[in-house]
Chains A and B, each alone.
Chain A
Amino acid sequence: MSTQSSRLAARVMVAPSVVLLFIWMAVPLAMTLYYSFRLYRLLSPDRTGWVGFTNYLWFFNSPDFWLALWNTLALVGGVLIITVMLGILIALLIDQPVKGQGMLRILVIAPFFVMPPVAASIWENLFMHPQNGLLAAVARGFGAQPILFLEEYPLLSVIGIVSWEWLPFATLILLTSLQSLSSEQLEAAEMDGASALNRLRHIILPHMTRAITVVILIQTIFLLGIFGEIFTTTQGGPGSASTTLPYMIFKQAIAAKDIGRAAAGGIIAVILANIVAYFLMRGIGRHLDA
């Protein structure tokens, strides 16, 4: 039981960290918001004055923006689908008792420790390269033309690379969830006449719902900001075929040196993230309740 005074004392004592966190979050957001309504170009002498929604309108009127928005959502959605589905399959697979299980699990988790630009470089140069890449060699081995991954399917290639990086994370979380399923439940289901597929559908997947939710939520947060992989491989191209919202903001900020526009893009990205979060929480957030 907490009395009035002890509650007050508690509030006073947590206040400093709350205030600090608030400043930490609010100040950058406020500054971005401020710049997004300002003319602020590093390469031109006039960098003052309010411009209203001009920076925002530039985005909305740019055909690249809608493509980038779509690309961002496609990247997030594609990677989520691939990592969750493959993650479940791999988790089911490496949950089976095999020799060298510990080693196997470390190998499965290893890609997660590769830094994004390194991972992207490896994929670009060792796998997807039309001359030196392994995939090209395989294609030639079958007498086919090597596929120009990054040129012909830039977004799909990026989705593939990012999925490879995030698959271990999904697998790991889903594996721990799988291991917490009591074997007696599975045995009971087996005695109840449930086939392997029915056990997966009625027992294993419902048990993993919460873990799947966690994977989706956490990955969404990180995937909305994917940048390094695109920068290292396609540079958002060809054209704007693999430009995502973060990459577009980068181009405005660093290439075009237009801080105002980049800030507007940042605010749009924040709004997009919130919309995505809203729908995610409405759709699957209830699974987080015990």
Chain B
Amino acid sequence: MGKITLQHVNKSFGEVAVIPDINLQIEDGEFVVFVGPSGCGKSTLLRLIAGLEDVTAGRIDIDGTDATHLPPARRGLAMVFQSYALYPHMTVRKNIAFPLKMAGLSEEEQEKKVQHAARILNLSNYLDRRPGQLSGGQRQRVAIGRAIVREPAAFLFDEPLSNLDAALRVTMRQEITELHQSLKTTMIYVTHDQVEAMTMADKIVVLNAGNIEQVGSPLDLYHRPANLFVAGFIGSPRMNLIEGAEAARHQAATIGIRPEHLDITEGGPWQGTVGLTEHLGSDTFLKVTLDTGELLTVRANGEVALRHGDRVALAPQQGKIHRFGPDGKALA
């Protein structure tokens, strides 16, 4: 079981309120991703749940019992750190067995669980090596192994992939997602990478300056961003935001249109000039400067033959325009 509830959680370092007031419910078995720009308090929030930081005010329940003042070891959570935090002087076997040893399990039981975890994570051949002799991905797996053997109520991941190269990151992303499918344990995952958030999460929590901007499924956030911040943060490339007269024509302070929802058609309402073009093979991203001065990103197919300086006309797809009020909140 791994249901975690945060009620009015507040965290201040001295005078600075890093997290002013957060209410959040995480259901058992969910894969929740905390995403936000650096300094938004997402790691602090994770550390509050882990118990590595004390809450200034508020209450944290884990599985229905008050865990606000429990020490980290007694919360039944396991954490995977950004630096992996492996114990360099211990072999992989001893690293993975460490929480079991601390729990006072017998040698045979330790070995059995270590072998089991090693099989899941493809580490069986590396058990007698030290962390220093492993690659980044293997170290990551050892760190996950050390978390698995404890059979925690929930896993906490603190930007676990940020030290890996791009290709490995994709592989590990899939491995963690598959691990979640097979273990069905609650996972809380912190990242600043919205691609990781979109691909892995059941539920995304978008954080900004210590506040929750929006909670929802990845597609929910993509299709119905609650405000300008979420609109700009979720989706790659970013949503185009247009203010001024064009927005006013849609009765909004700002309108947003995603690059993939702009069509290049003769007679489109928005005229402009092509600037930079990025050919990715499958897609082409065009930077189009409108005659009214706005810079839009347009996603076109890979074969589009437009070049720098070409004139284009753009048409937004029907119903894909997001409208935001002057306070930044989405208008119905």
Any chain A CB within 8 A of the CB of B82?
A: yes
1/0 per residue A205-248: CB within 8 Å of B?
01101000000000000000000000000000000000000000
Please judge, given known A-B contacts A185-B87, A206-B89, A207-B89, whether A193 and B99 are in contact too, CB under 8 Å: yes
CB neighbours (8 Å) of B85 from chain A are 182, 184-185, 187-188
B87–A191 CB distance below 8 A: no
- B102 close to A188 (CB less than 8 A): no
A191 touches B72 (CB 8 A): yes
Note all chain B residues with C-beta closer than 8 A to A189.
87, 98
Whether B77 is near chain A, meaning CB under 8 Å from some CB there, is yes
User: Is A194 an interface residue, CB under 8 A from the partner?
Assistant: yes
A202 touching B98, Cβ below 8 Å: yes
Q: Is the CB of B81 within 8 A of A192?
A: no
Cβ < 8 Å to B, chain A residues 170-194: 182, 184-185, 187-194
Give the chain A neighbours of B90 by CB distance below 8 A.
206
* A195–B52 alpha-carbon span in the complex (Å): 14
CB distance from B97 to the nearest CB of A (A): 10
In whole angstroms, how far apart are the Cα atoms of A11 and B156 in the complex? 57
Chain B: minimal CB distance from A198 (Å): 6
Q: Does B329 contact A (CB under 8 A)?
A: no
Bits for A96-130, please: 1 = Cβ < 8 Å to B, else 0: 00000000000000000000000000000000000
**Residues in B whose Cβ lies below 8 Å from that of A202:** 87, 98
A38 CB to nearest B CB, Å: 53
Partner of B102, one of A182, A185, A193, A209: A193
Closest to B78 in A: A191
Q: Report the minimal beta-carbon distance from B56 to chain A, rounded to whole angstroms.
A: 18
**Interface size range on B against A:** 20 to 34
Specify which chain A residues have a CB less than 8 angstroms from the CB of B89 in the assembled complex.
206-207, 209
- Distance in angstroms from B222 CB to nearest chain A CB is 33
- Provide the residues of chain B in CB contact with A73, threshold 8 Å: none
Of A184, A194, A195, A198, the contact of B81 (CB 8 Å cutoff): A184
- Chain A residues within 8 Å of B78, by CB: 191
Q: Shortest beta-carbon distance, A123 to chain B, in Å?
A: 39
Residue of B whose beta carbon sits closest to that of A207: B89
Q: How far is the CB of B130 from chain A (nearest CB, A)?
A: 11
Interchain CB contact under 8 A, B52 and A187: yes
- B134 lies within 8 A of chain A by Cβ: no
Which of A182, A190, A193, A209 is within 8 Å of B83, CB to CB? Answer: A182
- CB pair A194–B102 under 8 Å, yes or no, is yes
B50 within 8 A of A: yes
- On whether the beta carbons of A184 and B102 are closer than 8 Å, the reply is no
Does B146 lie at the interface of the complex (its beta carbon under 8 Å from any beta carbon of A)?
Answer: yes
Closest Cβ of chain A to B288, distance in Å, is 45
Tell me which of A189, A193, A206 has the highest count of chain B C-beta atoms within 10 A of its own C-beta. A193
Which parts of A253-272 form the interface with B (CB within 8 Å)?
A: none
Q: Does chain A have a CB within 8 A of B231?
A: no
CB distance from B200 to the nearest CB of A (A): 22
Task: Give the CA-CA distance A206 to B73 in the complex, in Å.
Answer: 22
Chain A proximity of B109: nearest CB distance (Å):
15
A residues less than 8 Å from B180 (CB atoms):
none
Q: Does B150 sit within 8 A of A, measured CB to CB?
A: yes
Is B103's beta carbon under 8 Å from chain A?
yes
From known contacts A185-B87, A202-B87, infer whether A192 and B52 are also in contact, taking CB-CB under 8 Å: no
Distance in Å: Cβ of A218 to nearest Cβ of chain B: 22
Is A188 in contact with B79, judged by CB distance below 8 angstroms?
A: yes
A189 to B71, CA, bound (A): 12
Interface residues as binary, B65-83 with A (CB distance below 8 Å gives 1, 0 otherwise): 0000001110001110111
A-B contact pairs, 5 of them (CB 8 A): A188-B79, A188-B81, A190-B73, A191-B72, A192-B98
Extra contacts, 14 of them, besides A192-B102, A207-B89 (Cβ < 8 A), are A184-B85, A185-B86, A187-B85, A189-B87, A190-B52, A191-B52, A191-B78, A192-B98, A192-B99, A192-B150, A193-B73, A193-B102, A195-B102, A206-B90
The 8 closest A-B pairs by CB, nearest first: A192-B99, A188-B85, A184-B85, A193-B73, A193-B102, A206-B89, A184-B81, A191-B72
